[in-house]
Structure 1
């Protein structure tokens, strides 16, 4: 085997290992079971997630209250309260403009001249389902999460937004699902959405 061929094969093997490590790392971002509860300084649960939590992680609630994780104990993330965040001045003063309000770049060619902002939705875990209504936690290629996406689209359209909903399946539900769904996300981004959502089933109890 020539030196150049050996170098080529070594390069292929290295890239394959890097891809495997990347996909494995992405899979470890989610817990296989259970979930974390975020506690405020008074010990009240204000948020729960099945994603991995690290010291220093920060979270802003729907009421714009800002917290930082300072201690992780079993399934509990203890947080310091950093204060309220005022998000309104940033958009009012034009510091951060929504995509549909920003001045168009003459060097770009928009896909269309739609006046309503577009919101794109897709599902990495397209099998995710709901036992109370679907009868099972997983339905290959057509999980109950797709119905949630349709309902989300309907609500957005009632608000005057244009919804782009991709129901492309990315099964199986494994470490490579995010790699497969990346192509779907890229296709949706070509349509210039103002926002892109990867919609998942909640991993914590209703109450």
Structure 2
């Protein structure tokens, strides 16, 4: 979901979830994060949807496909309107992921895996060659199971800090 759902950090809890439907009533997503009008969702077919209607009682929401990929992808590369200094954040959902050839293991549960080295190098190159300020989050989210849920708080915190063009 887009930043509005992360910014207020509202999780439903108690095993409840929102179901997001297309305007043709096809299920697009089920999530434990509260959905808001205006939120956007990119599906596995690279179709972008925007939420236009919510039923808070039934925990249902509906979204329309926004535009074709060519149109919205070009807009996404422009950054924030009026932003002179571009800023992005990099974080890692699976802290233990490593690379057998360089790290000697494919994963670890003891410390930051090799994926953090990749993130550091990526951040350094983006800053050097693209002149974009990068915040590289060093937080870890062990164990592997449930790491998407736990890492979402880091993403919400990074988004909540404001002024990011991308995460």
TM-score normalized with structure 1 length: 0.45
Tell whether the 8 Å contact from 2:95 to 2:140 is kept in structure 1 after alignment.
yes
The reply on whether 1:134 has 2:121 as its aligned counterpart is no
Residue in 2 that maps onto 1:17? 15
What is the total number of aligned residue pairs between the two structures? Answer: 110
Structure 1 residue 192 displacement after superposition: 2.0
1:156: Cα distance to partner?
0.7
Task: Choose the corresponding residue for 2:154, options 181, 184, 202.
Answer: 184
Q: C-alpha distance in 2, partners of 1:170/1:85?
A: 32
Deviation at 1:181, TM superposition (A): 0.7
In 2, are the aligned partners of 1:126 and 1:167 still within 8 Å (CA)?
A: no
Q: Over the residues paired in the alignment, what is the CA RMSD in angstroms?
A: 3.4
Question: Aligned partners of 1:168, 1:134: CA distance in 2, in Å?
Answer: 19
Instruction: Report the Cα distance in structure 1 between the residues aligned to 2:126 and 2:147, rounded to whole angstroms.
Output: 26
Greater Cα radius of gyration, structure 1 or 2 = 1
Shift, 1:119, TM fit: 0.9
Deviation at 1:157, TM superposition (A): 0.5
* 1:107-126 equivalence runs, <5 A: 115-126=84-95
* Secondary structure at 1:58 match in 2: coil
Q: Is the 8 A contact 2:98 2:113 kept in 1?
A: yes
Spell out the pairing of 1:28-177 with structure 2 (5 A cutoff): 57-59=44-46, 86-87=70-71, 91=75, 98-100=78-80, 102-103=81-82, 115-140=84-109, 141-158=111-128, 159-174=130-145, 176-177=146-147
Q: Give the Cα separation in 2 of the matches to 1:169 and 1:181.
A: 8
Mapped to 2, the partners of 1:85 and 1:15 lie a distance apart of 33
Judged with a 3 Å threshold, the aligned counterparts in structure 2 of structure 1 residues 59 and 17 are, in CA distance, closer, same or farther, namely: closer
* Gap regions ≥5 residues in structure 1: 1-13, 20-24, 27-55, 61-83, 105-114, 197-207
1:123–1:166 contact (8 Å) kept in structure 2 = yes
Normalised to the residue count of structure 2, the TM-score between the two structures is 0.55
Q: Helix, strand or coil: the match of 1:123? A: coil
Kindly provide the CA deviation profile for residues 82-110 of structure 1, in whole angstroms up to 9, marking residues without a partner as x.
Answer: xx96459954xxxx67333x148xxxxxx
- The structural deviation recorded for 1:116 is 1.9
